[in-house]
Structure formats: C-alpha cells, structure tokens
C-alpha cells in the first residue's frame, strides 16, 4: 500500500490518494516534526489538511495528509519536490530529537 520506504532510525512512507499525498513518519523520537514539515511544504503551495500522531513503542508515528492550496493534485514534479522537502526533515530530526 505505501511506497518509497526509507529506513534508518526513521521510516517514511508516501502514498498518493487521489489529488492528496499521505505521509507517515515513524521515528525513534518523541519530538514531532509537523511544524518544520508544514513550513517546508507551504513554500511549495502545499498545506496540511489532516494530521494525526500516535505513540509507538520506540517513539512517535505522525500521519499527515497534504493538499495543494489551489485544490489541484500533487503530481509530477510537485510530488517529487514535496517528497524531497519532507525526507531531510523527517530523517534529520531523529538525531536531534
């Protein structure tokens, strides 16, 4: 179901759901990355339409649904740019969290 899994001390999963992009970030940290993530994608014209967080055995799992501000689909180069903006944030927070 989820694709493009990146594994280190964090796990990041992306799933395209129609025009939205769902992201699940699991980390060995109890420090959420939502505020940094929201700032990064906002610059691309992407907003957080839904956010959930839950405790896991080793840290937090954050689930974020991203939507374009103009209502269009997150596809093509915008999809790639969004993923590229998210990955460094999700992975760097592990070492500082």
pTM of the model: 0.83
Residue 60 to residues 50, 76, 82, 84: CA-CA distances in angstroms?
16, 30, 21, 21
Q: What is the pLDDT of residues 51-94, one digit of tens each?
A: 999 998 888 999 999 999 999 999 999 999 999 999 999 988 54
Q: Show the domains of the chain with their CATH numbers.
A: 3-96 (3.30.70)
Closest CA to 86 of 9, 6, 3: 6
* 7-56: pLDDT as tens digits: 447 899 999 999 999 999 999 888 899 999 999 999 999 999 999 999 98
């Amino acid at each position: 179901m989820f694709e493009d899994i990146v594994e280190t001390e964090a796990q990041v999963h992306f799933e395209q759901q129609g025009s939205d992009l769902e992201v699940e970030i699991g980390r060995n940290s109890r420090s959420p990355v939502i505020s940094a993530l929201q700032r990064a994608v906002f610059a691309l014209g992407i907003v957080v339409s839904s956010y959930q967080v839950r405790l896991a055995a080793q840290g937090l799992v954050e689930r974020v649904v991203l939507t374009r501000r103009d209502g269009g689909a997150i596809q093509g180069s915008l999809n790639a740019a969004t993923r590229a903006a998210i990955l460094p944030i999700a992975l760097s927070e592990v070492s500082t969290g």
